[in-house]
Amino acid sequence: MQIRPIQSKDQEKVKELISGILSKEFEYGHKAYPYGDLDSIDKVYGGKREKFFVMEDNGEIAGTVGIKEESKKTAIIRRLFVNHSFRRMGYGGLLLDRALDFCKEQGYHEAVFHCATTMKSAMKLCGSRGFKEKDKLVSGGVDIIKFLVNF
Span 72-100, mean pLDDT? 96
**pLDDT for residue 14:** 96
Cα separations in angstroms, 98 against 11, 63, 64: 20, 12, 11
pLDDT at 110 over 80: yes
The full 3-state SS of the chain, as one line of letters, equals: CEEEECCHHHHHHHHHHHHHHHHHHCCCHHHHCCCHHHHCHHHHCCCCCCEEEEEEECCEEEEEEEEEECCCCEEEEEEEEECHHHCCCCHHHHHHHHHHHHHHHCCCCEEEEEEECCCHHHHHHHHHCCCEEEEEEEECCEEEEEEEEEC
**pLDDT for residue 30:** 53
**pLDDT for residue 38:** 87
**pLDDT for residue 32:** 53
Identify the CATH homologous superfamily for domain 2-109.
Answer: Gcn5-related N-acetyltransferase (GNAT) (3.40.630.30)
pLDDT-wise least confident of 36-45, 62-71, 89-98: 36-45
Question: For the chain, which residues make up each domain, given as ranges?
Answer: 2-109
